[in-house]
Amino acid sequence: MAQPAPAAPPSPHHAAPADQPEPGVEPSIGWHVSHFFYRFDRAVLDSMTTKERSQAVVEAAAVLDPAAPAAPARLQTWLVAGQKADFAVLAMDPSPLAVEGLQQRLLAGPLGRPLVPTASFVSLTEVSEYLPSVEQFGERLVAEGLDPTSDAYAAKMRGYAAREPAMRQGRLEPELPAWPNACFYPMNKKRKVGENWFSLPFAERSRLMAEHAKSGMAFAGRVSQVITVAVGLDDWEWGVTLWARRPDYLKEIVYAMRFDEASARYAEFGPFYAGYVMPPAEIFRHCRVAAD
């Protein structure tokens, strides 16, 4: 009796199981985020005519316009202080192709000739696992000594329940503050003997992060932050982007939070990039790329 033919191997394009999303480049949760840093090659700029330089900055400014049709959902440019870069671009969008397309249009344009990429950071927005649910918030209040039958407890619970959805949405699709001072730095949590963050119980990590968050809350109205996750995507695990009403507030918040155990004992930091939020045309004028 003839044997049945063996089953054909599954096609690499077979449909996803019912409980799995279809393959795609957009994150299941959160947005793609990239920080790009550039400097100008002065020798190349000097080889361009005044007309070429003027046309180049006009086209580059159009590419970096947040209101442009192809612009990512969030787009901001900074003049960078110091010599690590001349300017930075921060872009966020559900699609990584929208973000990466921005940098390719910039580099493919006439200003791409004198542009030298100096650094980048690729990450995703996320809701931190340490942001408490309503139930966890209530447990924390009780642990702090608040009577769960008191009016004060009920009022705090109502208030947190009302703002918790917006807090989560704000972390996944953050608005970029218009405050003029900004900085960015990458960071890791240590994995050293005696200082391994990832070997700590969740309850202890949550306690340390609550202490850390409390320090940051003291700067509400003066400093705003977005923390993005780069685990599996870049050399560092998280990226911290800060905006401030005044530049000294950046110094103050970073200094104050360095004393928290989550930072002092368990954190490692990469290079800091500080700068000033500025439209691209103003950046190009400030950098003497084109005449006023």
3-state secondary structure of 58: helix
Which candidate, 70, 84, 82, 69, places its Cα nearest to that of 36? 84
Annotation marks residue 185 as catalytic: yes
Alpha carbon distance 220, 133 (integer Å): 21
Alpha carbon distance 116, 125 (integer Å): 27
Alpha carbon distance 107, 117 (integer Å): 9
* Interaxial angle between packed helices 247-257 and 202-217, expressed in degrees from 0 to 180 and rounded to the nearest 10: 150
Alpha carbon distance 156, 137 (integer Å): 9
For 120, phi then psi, to 5°, come to -155, 160
Alpha carbon distance 7, 9 (integer Å): 6
CB-based contacts of 80, cutoff 8 Å, min separation 6: 37, 86, 87, 88, 273, 274, 275
Alpha carbon distance 280, 203 (integer Å): 45
Alpha carbon distance 125, 81 (integer Å): 26
Q: Which two tokens stand for residue 156?
A: 């705090």
Q: Which of 38, 160, 185, 249 is catalytic?
A: 185
- Classify strands 223-229 and 238-244 as parallel, antiparallel or unpaired: antiparallel
Catalytic residues: 185
